[in-house]
Structure 1
Amino acid sequence: MRRFYSKCLYAALATAITIPAIAQQTTTVSGSVKNASSKEALSAVSVTIKGGTVGTFTDDKGNFRFTTVQKPPFTLVISSVGYASKEVSVKGASDVISVDLTPSFTLGDEVVVSASRVPERILESPVSIERISTAAIRNTPQLSYYDMLTNLKGVDVVTASLTFRSVGTRGFNSSGNTRLNQLVDGMDNQAPGLNFSVGSVIGLSELDVDNMELLPGASSALYGPGGMNGTVLINSKNPFKYQGFSFQVKQGINHIDSKFRGAAPYYDWSLRWAKKVSEKLAFKINAQFVQAQDWLAGQGENYSRILNTPNGSFIPGSRNTDPNYDGVNYYGDETSQTMSGIASQVFAAAGLTSGQLAAFNGFLAANPGAKLAQFNAFLNGAGAGALVTAGVSPLIYGASPARNYLGNQAVSRTGYYEADVVDPTTLNMKLTGGIHYKLTDKIEASFNAYFGTGNSVYTGSDRYSLKDLRIAQFKYELKHKNWYARYYSTHENAGNSFNATITTRLYNEAWKPSSAWYPQYIAAYVGFIDNGGDYTTSHSLSRAFADQGRPTGFIGNSALFQSIARKPISQGGGLFLDRSRLKVFDGQYNLTEDLGLAKTNTDWLIGVSAKQYVLNSEGTLFADTAGVIKINEFGAYTQVSQRLFNDILKLTVSGRYDKNTNFKGRFTPRASAVVKLAKDHNLRFSYQTAYRFPTTQNQWINLTVGGGTRLLGGLPQLRDFYKFNTNPVFTLPSVQAFGASALAGAPNPNLLQQQSFGEFKPESMRSFEVGYKGLIAQKLLIDVYAYWGRYKDFLSSVVGIQSRNATFNPADVLNANTRIAYSISVNAPGEVNTSGWGASVEYLLPKNFSFTGNLYHDQIGALPTGFVSYFNTPKYRVNMALNNTGFGKDNRYGFSIQYRWANSFLYEGTFGTGVVPYMRTVDAMVSYKLPATKSMIKIGGTNIFNNYYRTGWGNPSIGGLYYVSFGYNVF
């Protein structure tokens, strides 16, 4: 032990002696950087020693300071986006550097990474790409940076609520789109159990976003499964570069016309604090809080869940005209039964024999003029007075062939409007933080944590109220300019989230069971009809009679509703208990420098990834009642680029292999070529392939939804569990045909056809794209593209009908009480072709004015009969904007006006199918800068003319929202 202490003492002495020696050998470089025009201090400016990697960034006051072992003289390179770079000589160790940078923004100078996973000018990208910078975020009229994706060329956004948006490109989109990768700081942002990307719920606060890049089209070759139609990368600010304390307060108001809700406040508060503690250590903390009254999904159209399409369709009628009305955004009215079916159930429960019914029907046939009162007198005289007392006699009377008041008329329970069951308060709170440490001048280690929670609404097969949803991500990363290695995990907790449709149905049953409600309804109906009432009025009065005492108004907070909403689905409630997780390791190495390939104009990079999904819903979402389900994925990729003919031609070839536990391995190649026609004018060609493994829900979901249909994953283990091999499942069209034959009086069971199931496998596609991007006179940037795609093994679903009875009877599939419907994930047969084009311009005008505009088009080819493509996009969309980043005194004023238009289109969703009307909207803002504090005041609004529009069938109507904001230390 004494020897150990002696060694420690010697080490301490050696360190004490060495530190002063090292200190004597270092040079401290310090100074400040300002804007040459306005004399404002410039933050986040790069200051490096020319020819090396040693350097730093200016802080929020424009100052910089770092040490180096290199002795003067040497040259500093000072650079920042939007300014002309400058070189400054340092001649002595005590020099204090003062530099003025001249603003010099040139279109096309932006550097992007996502297109090839290596930095390159956006003008030279081999595929279509869009980029949003910090400056663009600062000057947008949109409510948040995430909303800005809406204005990009080729993008469609489906809005399920104020804080829940799903991004898609090139046609295929839905609420919770799974055909587009979304990476936040390199992490997959998709919830492992719920499957939707949560970038607008969890992730970065607005003040911490450095940039966003959107890669439309196939991207699996570099980014793996899920990149069928694009990848979004959202990158945060490094605390070494962006330092200081910033905050932003945004206050607004929406629902100003009280059309759907009363006028309500909007709050959005955020802050960021980052500090470089030393040359090696820096940290950052971010927080954001959003609260508002949500947009309301208020479609009242009548809907049939079995007609015209696999997901149903709109039909004529309203609650006043159709007894079986099922409103799109009314819940609880999915419960539906035929009056004759209810009568048969009541007769069986009362113990009526066929002989008794024959006798009663005989009396009515012999006495056609007998009214219900006379029939009751007959029953009392025949010793069957108990049937009168129990209220069964009106059903016998109405169901008799002599009266036939009931027929095969279906009647639905009375539903509740979405506003009556879903809490209107949308809430989102984000908290992120990170510690960064420079192990060397070239290697940076970091640990970052991301946490988000809140309330929102999501449209899936039903409408889901996401209450107290919590998602956390933790990332450990080592990063070098040539390589990185990271491990991260995603932890999902659905909180008190519930299925609004199922919960409301169960609430109806808890208030008054259908076994009591329907007999009351039918008895009243028979009485009204028997007294000469007309069909419509009799149904309306009968509903009012059965609904006596029914709670009205907002029932979402009632004790009865909450008791159901907080009971797990597996136990007969509406709550889903998703606690799924995702664990990922990935790494990448650019070998170019280490192998000396730069001298031959060659680039070579390799990468690997390993994922594990751990599904844990306790049987409320997945088939995991016996324990958690694990799914493993492994992937590896490589890319080689070669510049030829003095950089006139750049060829790139990529390839990736991925393997999933439940599926065979897949190889995905990509090839591209960029031809330099002239300086700043490039023609690009690319051939890409992509695929996606079925999502965790596609594989393992086992969930009964609002219409009584069971959503079932496509893995054969689930079909075996429900005994498809011994209890056949029939196709929906064949069941409908059999039902029609039964109604015609000649039931033909031979019309029933069993649903067949092939191999369940990943969906794949291949596409070809050609594009041109060019810069004219440093002022006009033009980008055009066209693509052609072909999809195979399209992941969709089929509806099958099975008897609930172990012993099959063909009549079972015609009775809602003796059958069950499954919506089963399958691969659709055949191939599907898509095509489209897009064009955009960005024009720099004098005095800081600029104009941007884009037009794009997507379409799908002929589809096989019954094929559901979910190609939810208008054929044509237009975005235009006029901006000014600085005018008036000292260029302190700014403004932005953005216009969006899209034509109507057919929206196909698992929630419903219907036409979404065309939309047009204008967003605008004016701003004023306070240079002394680097602050900005903004007054603006989205959809300022309050023209309500929807982006999906059954989704909310989006109106105007108007705000005032103040941001401190934001530029």
Structure 2
Amino acid sequence: MNCYLPRQAWFIVMFIFLCQTAFSQNSRTISGSVVDATTGKGLQGVSVSVKGATSGAITDAGGAFRFTTGHSLPLTLQFSFVGYKPEEATVTDASVNVNVQLSSTEILGKEVVVSASRVAESILQSPVSIEKLDIRAIKATPAPSFYDALANMKGVEMSTQSLTFKSVNTRGFNSNGNTRMLQLIDGMDNQAPGLNFSVGNIVGITELDMDNVEVLPGAASALYGPNALNGIVLLNSKSPFQYQGLSANIKTGLLNESGRTNSSTGYYDVSVRYAKAFNDKFAFKINLGYVKADDWQAYDKRDQSLLNGSKLTNTGHAANPGYNGVNTYGDETNVNMKGSLRSTAMTTGNPLGNGIAGLSAATGGAITRDMIYNAIMPDSNNAYVSRTGYDERNLADYDTKNLKVNVALHYKFNSNLELLGQGSYGTGTTVYTGADRYSIKNFRMGQYKIELRADNFYVRGYTTQERSGDSYAIGTLGAGINEAWKPSTTWFQQYFGTYAGGSLTAFSTAFQQALGAGQSPAAAFAAATAAAQGGSANFHNAARTTADQGRLLPGTPAFDAAAQKVKDKPIPGDASGVGAKFNDKTNLYQGEFMYNFKNQISFMELMVGGNIRQYDLNSDGTIFAKDDNGKEFNILEYGGYLQVGKRLLNDQLKLTGALRYDKNENFEGQFSPRLSAVFTFLETHNIRASYQTGFRIPHCQDQYIDLLTPQARLIGGLPFLRERYGLNTGPVYTLESVQAGAPKQYTFREFKPEKIVAFELGYKALIANKLVIDAYVYTNTFKNFNGTQILVQPTSLTTRNIYSIPVNYEKDIKSWGWALGLDYNLPQQFVVGGNVSYNELSNEKDLGSFKAMYNTPKVRYNIYLGNRNIARSFFSFNVTWRWQDSFIWSSSFVGPAVNAMGLSEIPSYGTLDAQISKLFPKPKVTVKIGAANLTQNVYIQSWGNPSVGAQYYASIGYNL
């Protein structure tokens, strides 16, 4: 494997080893051992720390530990290990070994979560539904990565756009690059500020540094602000104080899917983590991660134009001259041949017009020129012709790679007050699906923060710096190559001329033969018409062959040169040619704080917080509109919240209320209240009820995008853009009314943030320390729902502009659902469980032609069986079966006609994931082999996305 690391990364690696030589002088050494209270065997991996400090160690393979601390005696040691009851021991003499026994306990239902209320609380008593993936679960997952494992959680679904780009969603209205889910990495919004999506885990946390993931389904704006409409994903990294030392993991394997150019290709994943703490004050950590593979490929060749009466199953121009394949590009350009040739045919001075005029004159005008033209042409509904396109695999960069670098410096003023600086940088190549398919090539994004925090407050400031690199629109590239080789005006002229000439010749020959045989002009006309119509397929083939003669072919130097010119030119191009490149350098700046008054107020919980954010749009006009001075816009947002909690009835009942206010400079302010109640009975049984609200301020592209794509021009919903393109004055019609043959003028409404009102009732319990039950039912009501409207603006009798614009639906949109999860501890440390979720759009029939883009299967379920230490042999395994129902996918990528008719179905599928691992305690090495989609059920998760096959992998890790 050729694994290139930037120069900065090598400096970091050198810094790791240099830092190992530094240490404090005035110190003492504490040593001892930790064993299982039942078996007496040493326990590896137990966390040993000084209470109120940061020094400590992790026990080795035999359960022994040894560390140096500058704290004076006596001191208290704390011992913690997943699956065991925590213990403490007092040290008065450093020369005496500290020997501790830990008693095994079950972990089910004992997790602590933070995201639900922004305070630590038992997962059983969370006021809303919540899912958690901790270190132990991450190690046991059969998925190739912890991010893939999120799909195993209750009610969570994925949309795979490439191997390294996956979008997470809950409770409906899924989309690629989902902007209704908020993803926070160590408290920082992971959304790319210009491209407006969370880039999966491309710029995130390596698996070695991942402490836990919490997923909060449903509205969460009351505490987390805009965009936490469908939920949040919180990814939290490990502290360098608690997790020290060197860790490394090497993973390799195969991706296999028969429809790819090469069905089986390699997959490589390498990560390294080093962390060190000094004198309980200063600590640092460094993380490096690198992934490389040949990506999954999108190759759906079904015809989504639905032109010429075609069906979605057509697979090429031979079946439909107006063909537009789902994953072929350049064939979106189409013209109605009959409408375009009419003026030529009705005039003389050209071969077609002269030929028609001569035939008409030969009958003394009994057969008119118009009759002849209609005879030699297909009818208007079947006369569409599109250019020949290119397959995605010949245009996209499938050489997927991802480099992640993270550095963090921590300083503790005391045991409770900590200052940290953190920088995360990611770069890579992947593929994303939006209105077009986009090759995100050499994309770079950095997130940099400084934070002061204690157990009752934090103040942080951070920035997200996005650089699109060499990213380009794949569909635009296909169209650009065609135009660079031969402009569409020339291509269609050649095509139409060849077709018309062949058809007219066939008509004329048959007409003359019939007249010579003594038939009447009317009978001769009928025979000639049949000859012209009967040869239509041949005329189309001849026309395309003529127009495509000399066409640039993939793999040739001429094709590569033309493609590179289009890739290098900023979108949409200029008079010299089409451009497909994005040139985005948008930045985000945010400051925020939170303060918990728990040290000042004891009779209730009181918390306040707030933030201010600014987007600095900078795409050189390739994505965003410019103002009258030629500059792109800045967007200012700010908000604040208050949360109050109170326990009643001997702590059996907890009531919590929260209220948040947010303001974006382009929209009115938004209030987001939340109320919740949790009633605990029989110690481990909990009933919860909540009323939650959320909202989504239209993201940067929904506000300011101005981008021409092969399907339509995408413009933002702000009034000045509608005025810029003359949409307010009309005429402008809805696509649906045009398709129905009754164009209807579209009337714009005020563009507003969308809101949600949600109710949830849930039950969560731990029974006999073996069975966890988690169930909920919810209802959602969306107001001012943000959807997409396709508009048609006629520019002449035969030409038109197509616009795609975000608008608010005037009626409420309602959905509901439920979920049930069961987890059971069997004897001998076996665990079994599963979950099922149901989601439904309640009033879909009332929406008419409006596409809410619900994009969610009604039923999903997961079943798993595993054991983290089979008979204490250090072998472990896990097997998971996932299944989801079929559903309809709506988006701006789906062909407008297919979208309107609801034909874009995503088939149901099931997959089997499995892994087995072995820990070798003495060398601290873990070997793992596994497979995702072991049964090789090829599937797609959204329209136009790649076909996903099987992924086989093996890994070897040190000090995991």
| TM-score (norm: length of structure 2) | 0.88
Give the drift of 1:85: 1.6
Structure 1 residues 229 and 538: CA distance shift in structure 2, 3 A: same
Give the drift of 1:102: 3.6
Structure 1 residues 356 and 887: CA distance shift in structure 2, 3 A: closer
Give the drift of 1:506: 1.2
Give the drift of 1:846: 1.2
SS of equivalent to 1:592: helix
User: What per-residue deviation string (whole Å, max 9, x for no partner) do you get for residues 189-235 of structure 1?
Assistant: 00111111123211111111000000001100011100111000000
SS of equivalent to 1:268: strand
Is 1:716 aligned to 2:719, yes or no?
yes
Equivalent-residue separation in structure 1 for 2:95 and 2:324 (angstroms): 80
The aligned counterpart of 2:736 is: 733
Once the two structures are overlaid, the 10-residue window that deviates more, 669-678 or 528-537, is 528-537
Equivalent-residue separation in structure 2 for 1:283 and 1:317 (angstroms): 57
Structure 1 residues 306 and 523: CA distance shift in structure 2, 3 A: closer
Is 1:871 aligned to 2:871, yes or no?
no
User: What per-residue deviation string (whole Å, max 9, x for no partner) do you get for residues 562-609 of structure 1?
Assistant: 11011001433011111101001111111011x131xx2x21111111
Structure 1 residues 313 and 207: CA distance shift in structure 2, 3 A: farther
1:405 is aligned, of 355, 367, 377, to: 377
The AA in structure 2 aligned to 1:577 is: N
SS of equivalent to 2:496: helix
CA contact (8 A) 1:27 1:93 kept: no
The aligned counterpart of 2:361 is: 366
User: What per-residue deviation string (whole Å, max 9, x for no partner) do you get for residues 921-948 of structure 1?
Assistant: 1011111111012221111110011110
Structure 1 residues 534 and 33: CA distance shift in structure 2, 3 A: farther
Equivalent-residue separation in structure 2 for 1:292 and 1:965 (angstroms): 15
SS of equivalent to 1:711: strand
The aligned counterpart of 2:946 is: 956
Equivalent-residue separation in structure 2 for 1:843 and 1:307 (angstroms): 57
Equivalent-residue separation in structure 2 for 1:483 and 1:341 (angstroms): 69
2:560 is aligned, of 558, 575, 589, to: 558
Give the drift of 1:892: 1.6
Alignment of 1:734-753 (within 5 A): 734-737=737-740, 740=741, 752-753=743-744
SS of equivalent to 1:523: helix
Give the drift of 1:508: 0.6
Give the drift of 1:340: 2.9
1:510 is aligned, of 484, 500, 505, to: 484
Alignment of 1:823-902 (within 5 A): 823-863=804-844, 864-888=847-871, 890-902=872-884
Equivalent-residue separation in structure 1 for 2:925 and 2:689 (angstroms): 44
CA contact (8 A) 1:164 1:458 kept: yes
The AA in structure 2 aligned to 1:829 is: E
Is 1:947 aligned to 2:937, yes or no?
yes
Alignment of 1:321-360 (within 5 A): 321-343=319-341
Give the drift of 1:722: 1.9
Is 1:761 aligned to 2:764, yes or no?
no
Is 1:775 aligned to 2:773, yes or no?
no
Equivalent-residue separation in structure 1 for 2:692 and 2:374 (angstroms): 69
Is 1:433 aligned to 2:407, yes or no?
yes
The aligned counterpart of 1:146 is: 147
The AA in structure 1 aligned to 2:929 is: I
Structure 1 residues 624 and 402: CA distance shift in structure 2, 3 A: closer
The aligned counterpart of 1:8 is: none
Is 1:789 aligned to 2:780, yes or no?
yes
The AA in structure 1 aligned to 2:775 is: V
The aligned counterpart of 2:513 is: none
The AA in structure 2 aligned to 1:802 is: Q
SS of equivalent to 1:303: coil
Structure 1 residues 38 and 94: CA distance shift in structure 2, 3 A: closer
The aligned counterpart of 1:461 is: 435
Structure 1 residues 83 and 491: CA distance shift in structure 2, 3 A: same
User: What per-residue deviation string (whole Å, max 9, x for no partner) do you get for residues 697-725 of structure 1?
Assistant: 11001011112x11110000111222334
SS of equivalent to 2:376: coil
CA contact (8 A) 2:286 2:406 kept: yes
Equivalent-residue separation in structure 1 for 2:313 and 2:868 (angstroms): 50
SS of equivalent to 1:503: helix
Aligned residue-pair number: 883
The aligned counterpart of 1:63 is: 66
Give the drift of 1:265: 0.5
Is 1:443 aligned to 2:417, yes or no?
yes
Is 1:636 aligned to 2:669, yes or no?
no
Alignment of 1:779-818 (within 5 A): 779-804=770-795, 812=796, 815-816=798-799
| TM-score (norm: length of structure 1) | 0.87
Is 1:613 aligned to 2:615, yes or no?
yes
User: What per-residue deviation string (whole Å, max 9, x for no partner) do you get for residues 335-368 of structure 1?
Assistant: 10121344358789xxx67999876543121347
Alignment of 1:264-279 (within 5 A): 264-279=265-280
Structure 1 residues 462 and 295: CA distance shift in structure 2, 3 A: same
Equivalent-residue separation in structure 1 for 2:810 and 2:496 (angstroms): 45
The AA in structure 1 aligned to 2:442 is: D
Equivalent-residue separation in structure 1 for 2:157 and 2:364 (angstroms): 64
Structure 1 residues 107 and 357: CA distance shift in structure 2, 3 A: closer
Q: What RMSD, in angstroms, separates the aligned Cα atoms of the two structures?
A: 2.7
Equivalent-residue separation in structure 2 for 1:553 and 1:359 (angstroms): 40
The aligned counterpart of 1:391 is: none
User: What per-residue deviation string (whole Å, max 9, x for no partner) do you get for residues 294-331 of structure 1?
Assistant: 111111111128999xxx99475642211101111111
Q: Deviating runs (4+, > 6 A) in structure 1?
A: 305-308, 345-348, 352-359, 396-399
The aligned counterpart of 2:8 is: none
Equivalent-residue separation in structure 2 for 1:131 and 1:32 (angstroms): 33
Instruction: List alignment gaps of at least 5 residues for structure 1.
Output: 1-22, 371-395, 741-750, 805-811
The aligned counterpart of 1:201 is: 202
SS of equivalent to 1:698: helix
Equivalent-residue separation in structure 2 for 1:347 and 1:202 (angstroms): 59
Is 1:284 aligned to 2:285, yes or no?
yes
The aligned counterpart of 1:596 is: 601
Equivalent-residue separation in structure 1 for 2:210 and 2:538 (angstroms): 59
Equivalent-residue separation in structure 2 for 1:568 and 1:355 (angstroms): 40
User: What per-residue deviation string (whole Å, max 9, x for no partner) do you get for residues 140-168 of structure 1?
Assistant: 11111111110100111111111110100
Give the drift of 1:856: 0.7
Structure 1 residues 525 and 399: CA distance shift in structure 2, 3 A: farther
Equivalent-residue separation in structure 2 for 1:614 and 1:822 (angstroms): 26
Once the two structures are overlaid, the 10-residue window that deviates more, 772-781 or 30-39, is 30-39
The AA in structure 1 aligned to 2:785 is: F
The AA in structure 1 aligned to 2:597 is: L
The aligned counterpart of 1:905 is: 887
- Quote the sequence identity (%): 42
CA contact (8 A) 2:348 2:357 kept: no
Structure 1 residues 44 and 458: CA distance shift in structure 2, 3 A: farther
Is 1:627 aligned to 2:631, yes or no?
yes
Instruction: List alignment gaps of at least 5 residues for structure 2.
Output: 1-23, 507-530
Equivalent-residue separation in structure 2 for 1:689 and 1:523 (angstroms): 61
Give the drift of 1:528: 4.1
Structure 1 residues 777 and 578: CA distance shift in structure 2, 3 A: same
Equivalent-residue separation in structure 1 for 2:737 and 2:145 (angstroms): 49
User: What per-residue deviation string (whole Å, max 9, x for no partner) do you get for residues 512-567 of structure 1?
Assistant: 12222222222332344434562223322321232122233347970110110110
Equivalent-residue separation in structure 2 for 1:689 and 1:537 (angstroms): 61
SS of equivalent to 1:635: strand
Equivalent-residue separation in structure 1 for 2:308 and 2:569 (angstroms): 32
CA contact (8 A) 1:212 1:232 kept: yes
Give the drift of 1:38: 7.6
Equivalent-residue separation in structure 1 for 2:401 and 2:933 (angstroms): 21
Structure 1 residues 35 and 166: CA distance shift in structure 2, 3 A: farther
Is 1:414 aligned to 2:419, yes or no?
no
User: What per-residue deviation string (whole Å, max 9, x for no partner) do you get for residues 358-396 of structure 1?
Assistant: 7654312134799xxxxxxxxxxxxxxxxxxxxxxxxx9
Structure 1 residues 93 and 931: CA distance shift in structure 2, 3 A: closer
The AA in structure 1 aligned to 2:856 is: T
Give the drift of 1:293: 1.1
